[in-house]
Structure 1
Amino acid sequence: MPITTTLFSWYRSKAAALITMLVPLAVVFGCAAVPPESDREARAEFEARNDPLEPLNRRVYAFNRAVDALFLKPAAIFYRALTPPPVRTGVSNVLHNMKSPVILANDLMQAEFARAGDTAARFAINSTLGVGGLGDPAADHFGIAKHGEDFGQTLAVWGVGEGPFLMLPLLGPSNPRDAVGFAVDSFVLDPFAWWVRVRNDDRAIYSYIRLGFTALDARSANFEGIEDVERNSLDPYAALRSLYRQFRVKEINQGRVPADFDVPDFDDIPDAAEPGSSPG
């Protein structure tokens, strides 16, 4: 078996196993760690943080920062230095176009039929006139703006709560709902993943390449935002936790912020950020 096949199979199995293990663990710890309602100050602080696994999460965050410093950040620096902006934009466009079937499935499951039509039209136009998604004529010439949807958002629309904050190894900030959503999107709804599994020995290399470019593109797109958080925040972990929750609320509500969601302004969130895209 080729080494790339072995590495990808190992990563896929470990990621699925990690999510399966951490989600129920987080739920159990979240239920057990809630302060009593009689202690209003502690209860308010707990709900604001929504992080009963904070000691463990901070250790994972430290691990992610070490991986980022050793690999992702240097790679992103070289990538930005060696590739002009139009090339990076083309890579981002291709990656987004490849996610169109997943976005479409979640549009439909959320009964967002107009947005589903936009997604289908964008995929057809950009896959043909856009040369496999390198360009974005759907937005540039037809006025069909891109949007993102994932199964974590679908679960939220169906009424599933976010659960406690999680910091996942390599994947970054998340929560039980979004972790389950990531697994469903990656292993169930993505036609590319099914295409790879049909002949895993021959095609795993393509998933490995896609995974690498996805991580590189996300780190490059969020470069300034991550630097700003780490440079200007007294507690980068707490800042990232808050920003992630803000971003997800914004995504789930399609840019609308619920009046009862008391967090800092959304202007602090880089527009390029996506759930799970930060190295955390």
Structure 2
Amino acid sequence: MNGKGWRDLGSRLGKLAVVLMAVSLLAGCAGRVAVEDRHPDDPWEGFNRGVYAFNDGLDRALLRPAAVAYDTVTPDPLQRGVSNFFSNLGELRTALNSLLQGKPANAGLATGRFVINTTVGILGLVDVATQMEITADKEDFGQTLGVWGVGEGPYLVLPFFGPSTVRDTAGLPVDWVTYPTHQLNDRDLEIFLTALNLVDKRADLLDQEALIRGDRYVFIRDAYLQRRRFEVSDGELGDDPFASDDFDFDFDDDDFDFGDEASDGAGEAD
């Protein structure tokens, strides 16, 4: 498809998106959530559900069918290669944000992974670094803002992008410009790679859809917030309240001395 073809397709999809978005937002506003029923992390639930409905409609109409077709016709080894290729490009973003977070060791690991996989791994198609047990924690600018002390803010569902928070949304422009595909001078190639990355990521989620139970909106919201908090804190769950000096166990040895009665009871039970 030439440049004009891509632009025409983009124009049609844009018009469809505007219509779906308007309908979804009207539905979301019509079904506002009562104040007392709002989740503390999701004060804009009425709006968010409207955007979620729009995204879900777009997914069912376009993205999911494309992902199913891609998953059907693309052999598993090739799918892994595509996933590895885009993951490898993300190592540069991880290296940059690791430095911004004061994590030089993780930045070095991410840089090493990129060099090894780009060269020995044939442009990242093969994840040689992981086979060599060289791993790095993924980092993005939303996590960097969290490390700098910026609060996550309310949960927010973005058109096209999906689950986010105010803080993560603020980090998106930096993540966008630091991903290598957005630095290409060839606009058509950039669009193709972006679309391929999106379809590949969606195909990876096909098997996980069966795990969703109950309200899909709530499931996705809670899963997203838990994952992001885990990533920002590097897996730390905070201080153990039972390890605090302020938490005093007011017990003495006599409280655990059951005496001969406990022994006799054990003997009778035998």
TM-score where L is the length of structure 2: 0.74
> Is the 1:193–1:207 contact (alpha carbons within 8 Å) kept by the matching residues of 2?
yes
State the SS of the aligned residue for 1:257.
coil
Amino acid at match of 1:82: V
Whole-Å Cα distance in 2 between the matches of residues 170 and 216 of structure 1? 13
Conserved in 2, the CA contact under 8 Å of 1:139 and 1:146? no
Q: Deviations over 1:243-272 (max 9, x none)?
A: 110110111122333469xxxxxxxxxxxx
- 2:70 maps to amino acid: Y
Aligned to 1:228: 211
| 1:86 paired residue number | 77
Q: Distance in 2 between matches of 1:149 and 1:4?
A: 36
- The answer to whether the 8 A contact 1:93-1:134 is kept is yes
Question: Percent identity among equivalent residues?
Answer: 37
Aligned to 1:255, which of 230, 235, 244? Answer: 235
Amino acid at match of 1:166: L
Of the three residues 51, 65, 68, the one matched with 2:56 is 65
1: distance between equivalents of 2:113 and 2:43? 41
The verdict on how the C-alpha distance between 1:62 and 1:98 changes in structure 2, with shifts beyond 3 A counting, is same
TM-fit CA distance, 1:110: 0.6
- Residues 128-158 of structure 1, C-alpha deviation per residue, up to 9 Å, x if partnerless? 0000000011111x21024311000000000
CA distance in structure 2 between the partners assigned to 1:254 and 1:106 by the alignment: 13
- Indicate the SS of the match to 2:157: strand
Ranges in structure 2 where 5+ consecutive residues have no aligned partner? 12-34, 241-270
- Residues 200-211 of structure 1 mapped to structure 2, 5 A cutoff: 203-211=186-194
Alignment partner of 1:161 is 2:144: no
Structure 2 Cα separation of the partners of residues 192 and 177 of structure 1: 23
CA contact (8 A) 1:8 1:207 kept: no
Give the C-alpha shift of residue 4 in structure 1.
Answer: 6.3
Spell out, residue by residue over 1:196-251, the C-alpha distance to the aligned partner (whole angstroms, 9 max, x if none).
2xx4xxx011211121112112111112223421xx21x11111111110110111
2:173 aligned residue: 183
Aligned-pair CA distance for 1:192:
3.7
The amino acid that maps onto 2:3 is P
Name the aligned partner's letter for residue 211 of structure 2. Answer: D
**Which residue number corresponds to residue 124 of structure 2?**
133
State the distance in 2 between where 1:214 and 1:8 align. 18
CA contact (8 A) 1:168 1:174 kept: yes
Q: Deviations over 1:4-63 (max 9, x none)?
A: 6747998xxxxxxxxxxxxxxxxxxxxxxxx8xxxxxx5xx75x5411211111011111
RMSD: 2.7
Q: Distance in 2 between matches of 1:149 and 1:127?
A: 19
Q: Deviations over 1:45-96 (max 9, x none)?
A: 75x5411211111011111111111111111111111122211111110001
Could you say what secondary structure the match of 1:123 adopts?
Answer: helix
1:147 match: 137
Equivalent residue, structure 2, for 1:267: none
In structure 2, give the amino acid aligned to 1:204: R
Structure with max Cα Rg: 2
Asked if residue 109 in structure 1 is aligned to residue 100 in structure 2, the reply is yes
Instruction: Determine if contact 1:93/1:133 at 8 Å carries over to the other structure.
Output: yes
SS in 2 for 1:170: coil
SS in 2 for 1:173: strand
In structure 2, what residue type is equivalent to 1:217?
Answer: D
Deviation string for 1:101-122 (max 9, x for gaps)?
1111101001111111100100
Q: Distance in 2 between matches of 1:108 and 1:56?
A: 36
